[in-house]
Amino acid sequence: MQMEHEEKGEARVVRVLEAKLTYPILASFFGEVQKLIEAGSHQIVIDLRAVSYIDSASIGCLMDIHRLLQEKSGTLRLVALQPRVETMISMTGVHKIIEIHRTLEEALAAISPKRRRSDA
């Protein structure tokens, strides 16, 4: 599975570098993100810029990550969706549950104010 991750402010940005986020790489993707969450990353932004295809298993995986983060009072955000991926996310209603942003900057800006309000 080709992916990279880095800390950006209060978030961990995960960049998927695969054109298709499907089986068999889905299991390693989930495992890597799960490790980040267990290590304390509770604000995850997944950059799907390189991904041109996802399937129902991918949607399930994203929802599992969302649930893991909810248990830790964290959030998942998706950024830079290609049209085909965005259509799949919209058709399944996932966009009503997981925040989607056009750019990484938008997603990071959405994290900071929420964090400050909860610290006050």
Residue 70's pLDDT band (cuts 50, 70, 90): very high
Beta carbons of 6 and 20 less than 8 angstroms apart: no
- Direct distance between the N- and C-terminal alpha carbons of the chain, in angstroms, rounded to an integer: 40
Query: Which pTM was predicted?
Result: 0.90
Q: Cα–Cα distance between 64 and 85 in angstroms, integer?
A: 18
Q: Which CATH architecture has domain 3-119?
A: 2-Layer Sandwich (3.30)
Q: Residue 7 has what pLDDT?
A: 95
| 3-state DSSP of 23-81 | CCHHHHHHHHHHHHHHCCCCEEEEECCCCCEECHHHHHHHHHHHHHHHHCCCEEEEECC
> Would you kindly state where each structural domain of the chain is located, as residue ranges?
3-119
Residue 72: which H helix or E strand, with range? none
7-59 pLDDT, tens digit each: 998 899 999 999 999 999 999 999 999 999 999 999 999 999 999 999 999 99
